[in-house]
Amino acid sequence: GVQWKDAKGNHVVFYTATGLYESREEDPGDGLSAEIFAYHYTYQDNPNHAKLVWKLQEAELNCPLAILLEFIDGSFQVTDLDNNGESEIWLAYRGGCSGDIAPWGMSVVMYEGNKKYTMSGNVQVIFDGGEQTGGEYKFDKDFESAPDAFKKFADEVWKKHCFYYDYSKEK
pLDDT digits (tens, 9 = 90+) for 32-80: 999 999 999 999 888 889 999 999 999 999 999 899 999 999 999 999 9
Which pLDDT belongs to residue 11?
95
What is the spatial distance between Cα 90 and Cα 129, in angstroms, rounded to a whole number? 35
What is the spatial distance between Cα 103 and Cα 120, in angstroms, rounded to a whole number? 13
pLDDT digits (tens, 9 = 90+) for 94-116: 999 988 777 899 999 999 999 99
Judge contact between 62 and 28, C-beta under 8 A. Answer: yes
What mean pLDDT value characterizes the chain? 91
Query: What is the rounded average pLDDT of the residues 114-131?
Result: 90
Query: What is the rounded average pLDDT of the residues 125-142?
Result: 88
0.85 surpassed by pTM: yes
DSSP letters spanning 56-121 = EEEEEEEESSEEEEEEPTT--EEE-TT-SS--EEEEEEEEEEESSSPPPEEEEEEEETTEEEEEEE
Which pLDDT belongs to residue 51?
95
